[in-house]
Chains A and B, each alone.
Chain A
Amino acid sequence: MVKTAAGNAFSAAEGHNNKSIRYHSLTVLYQKEMADHVTGKRFIIILILVIAMTIASVYGAVTGIGSALKDAAADPKASFDASFMFLKLFSTGGSSIPSYMSLIALIGPFIGLILGFDSINAEKNSGTLNRLVSQPIYRDSIIIGKFLASSTLITVMIFSTGIAVGCAGFLCSGIRPTGEELVRILIYLIFTDIYVCFWLAMAMLFSVFTRQATTSALSSIALWLFFAIFMSLLAGIMANAAYPVNTEYQQAVNGLKNYDLNLNLNRLSPYYLYSEAGSVLMNPATRAINAVSYAQLVGALRGYLPLGQSLLLIWPHLVGLLALTFAAFTISYVGFMRQEIRGN
């Protein structure tokens, strides 16, 4: 298939100047890469994963909201906040099923990893890449085309699952979304898209710098596990080492510093960054993301932040995620461009 793509690019490049050759070859590579993905068996695995996740989270949200409402009706003391109900479809889980938001924070990276872990080294090993670069096309079209095709697929996946959760939730619960809720969900899905694209870029990075596809797959999964699970443990250990809180006195003196360090270390993890931004976006009652002292809470009134203020609270997260994604892609790009391919 790659051979055909290169042939097409070559024939189309005839009689054109360099710039149009570049874009034309990119378009052809992009289309061919998309076709490869969609017709592959891997795509079916991703599809099953996404569908299962959607069904589970809708079921969890509907049962979770239902039981919360029942509890509130039975116990007059229990307060149930009925504002922004539609957002609760995304942020509420059932008794044993996590919410859509926590599911996608955990499983979403998989989509990126599966699409990217062998993008370069598998072709290198099978020799197709060698033939591809021998064609009169720019070499960067190959990696850009692969990244764009995979990220397009990710975007389609993320938006369809998000919209599917919203629609299914609406059908099951009858909760109607307001305009602000729709905008918040849209921004949240864009965030999710960037988050998964970061993992795609990471997987491609590994595939550029490792020879074996299995190595890059295991490395990316290891990184994913580290950020999703071990980073929080490590941050806790480091924070406790720097600011011990073993005695009551230490607790009083170091408590805030310990918490701040812990939080900041956690924020190095894209997983945490994304989860924090998601909770601010999908729960408008969130007013602060840092530690809040009692002094700051004196006189504070229960209320919701306007969308603009919520966004101003999480803009560093967006910038951070984008920067991480660009950094991973740039490194793999530079690495790919400098690699000696013909020698293989």
Chain B
Amino acid sequence: MGRTAGFVTGKKKRFACGLLAAGVLAAITVLMPAAVFADEADTNSQTEAVSQAGEVVFSTDYPGVTVKPGGASTFPLYITNTGSKETTVALKAEDLPEGWEGAFKNTSNEVSMVHVGAHQKKEDSPSLSYSLTVPEDAKEDTYTITLNAKGGSVNEELKLSVKVDAEEKKLGVDTFTTDYAQQEGPAGTKFSYTAKLTNNSGENQTYSMSVQGEPEGWNVTFTPSDAGSATSSVPVEAGATSSIDVAVTPAQNVMAGEYPLTFMVDCAGETLELPVTVKITGTYGLTATTPNGNLSTSTYAGESKDVVLSIQNTGNIDLSNISLKAQASTDWKVTFDEDTISDIPAGQSKEVTAHITPAKDAILGDYAVLVTASNEVVKSECDLRVAVQNHTGWGIVAVVIIAALVAGLVYIIRKFGRR
């Protein structure tokens, strides 16, 4: 304060010497604040100094704001100079109500004086701001705070109008949207939604995310695009938009159909909802096999053998009218307990017994029997390997005949041997 007063008295002295001299001095003061150099600068460029006086402008984008009690507001400040003389100004805030705090800041420090370059435009202006903190007990009213930039001939004032309002309205409403709210795919697809969460509140906020309406066994994860892994909350800076990847993994045995889900974000009691739809398209699947997976069996020529087949519906749509057919060698007979299975619900299986009778003249060894289960939309084949065997009984017959031969020989030796 004392320093500013000194400047004021100095200026008055120069007025006495003449307007011209005063202008020169002001220009010099802008250049070099120390009074020692005043005389030296006096002789330099008197004419220019005249046009420069009062060309320095001190401004901010939004001089009037509304702040909650206990809130804070930051005013970015710009100092422009249309003249060609450099100067340095001291900064000061006036009429600051009691309890309020204010400070001039550059990016890192508190600032009290600023250098103004020649022909400085708004974009050249050094990073400068005034941050204002309103105390909790501030009364609702409109306060005017004057910011002062003084130096040499410059005496710029900037009036800030701060309205303290406990019911401060938000500047806008937060939004939570996605481009593709309805997605579809077959069972087993991992659906991915890209949701955009915009914080329009003017304050940095952290949103917690959740999902509603997902069926049992589903898995929904939220991954902000700048985060590496799934999380349940995301911080969004004031005015910024965060992109969130929402991955929806339906249950393994999901049935075909539409599933509405609601993604929700929560912040300070406010909830945003984003309704989406997952449509699971139907897939048909049918597998014909045996209950234990063993596809080989053995039997005798002309003799029936029962093989239990397991017809499995591996899709997510119920199947009906599945007919069973078999393809085997000539004169083989293959019949089923039921030729047509009326219905197999999705994910279920049904057991059917096949009666396989090889031809009477089938040769020994392995034969292929192809069982086909199909309806009009889906088909599955099952390759059975049937080994045709000879009855072991024939081996016993052979042993009996050989024994009879030996007995016959012994008998003959006994009969003729005693000579």
Contacts and interface: CB of A to CB of B under 8 A. Distances in A.
A106 interface: no
Contacts of B408: 326, 330
A21 B332 CA distance: 64
Interface stretch (A76-84, A87-95, A310-318): A310-318
Nearest to B385: A301
Interface stretch (A28-36, A136-144, A171-179): A136-144
A299 B332 CA distance: 10
Main secondary structure of the interface of B (DSSP, over half): mixed
Interface in B378-406: 385, 387, 389-392, 394-395, 397-398, 401-402, 405-406
A82 B363 CA distance: 23
A326 B365 contact: no
Contacts of A8: none
Contact of A301 (B331, B365, B402, B413): B365
B417 interface: yes
B394 A312 contact: yes
Given A288-B363, A300-B329, A300-B363, A315 B394 contact: yes
Nearest to A295: B330
B419 A138 contact: yes
Contacts of B364: 287-288, 305, 309, 312-313
Interface string B267-280: 00000000000000
A140 B363 contact: no
A329 B390 contact: no
A303 B365 contact: yes
A139 B416 CA distance: 10
Contact of B368 (A301, A304, A315): A301
A322 B368 contact: no
Nearest to B414: A140
Contacts of A337: 416-417, 419
Given A296-B330, A301-B366, A315 B398 contact: yes
B328 interface: yes
Contact of A299 (B369, B394, B409, B412): B369
A334 B419 CA distance: 12
A90 B387 CA distance: 27
Interface residues of B, number: 38
B226 interface: no
A138 B418 CA distance: 7
A309 B398 contact: no
Given A139-B419, A296-B330, A319 B413 contact: no
A251 B43 CA distance: 139
A296 B412 contact: no
B367 A299 contact: yes
B362 interface: yes
Contacts of B413: 140, 144, 333
Main secondary structure of the interface of A (DSSP, over half): helix
A292 interface: yes
Contacts of A237: none
A74 interface: no
Interface in A200-257: none
A48 interface: no
Interface string A329-344: 1100110011000000
Contacts of A138: 417-419
Contact of B395 (A299, A311, A330): A311
B376 interface: no
B416 A140 contact: yes
Interface string B96-130: 00000000000000000000000000000000000
A333 B368 contact: no
B367 A300 contact: yes
B250 to A, nearest CB: 42
A311 B387 CA distance: 16
Interface string A154-170: 00000000000000000
A338 B416 CA distance: 8
Contacts of A301: 365-368, 385
Contacts of A318: 398, 402
A287 B363 contact: yes
Contacts of B395: 308, 311-312, 315
Among B327, B365, B368, B418, max chain A CB count under 10 A is at B365
A52 interface: no
A295 B417 contact: no
A337 B412 CA distance: 11
Contacts of A292: 363
A292 B369 CA distance: 19
Given A287-B364, A296-B330, A300-B363, A333 B416 contact: yes
Contacts of B412: 330, 333-334
Nearest to A144: B413
A323 interface: yes
Contacts of B327: 299
B63 to A, nearest CB: 90
Contacts of B332: 299
Contacts of B363: 287-288, 292, 296-297, 300
B95 interface: no
A319 B408 CA distance: 14
Nearest to B330: A295
A319 B330 contact: no
B137 interface: no
Contacts of B328: 299
B159 to A, nearest CB: 96
A70 to B, nearest CB: 30
Contacts of A311: 395
Contacts of B417: 138-140, 337
B307 interface: no
B339 to A, nearest CB: 21
Given A139-B419, A319-B402, A309 B390 contact: yes
A298 interface: yes
A311 B412 CA distance: 30
B359 interface: yes
A299 B419 contact: no
Contact of B366 (A139, A293, A303, A319): A303
B361 interface: yes
Nearest to B409: A326
Interface string B140-162: 00000000000000000000000
A295 B391 CA distance: 22
Given A299-B367, A301-B365, 19 more contacts: A138-B417, A140-B416, A140-B419, A295-B331, A296-B359, A297-B329, A299-B327, A299-B329, A300-B368, A303-B366, A303-B387, A318-B402, A319-B401, A322-B402, A322-B405, A326-B408, A326-B409, A330-B412, A337-B419
- In the A-B complex, the 3 residue pairs with the smallest Cβ-Cβ separation, listed nearest first, are A299-B329, A295-B330, A315-B398
9 contacts: A295-B329, A299-B332, A305-B364, A308-B392, A312-B389, A326-B409, A330-B408, A330-B409, A338-B416
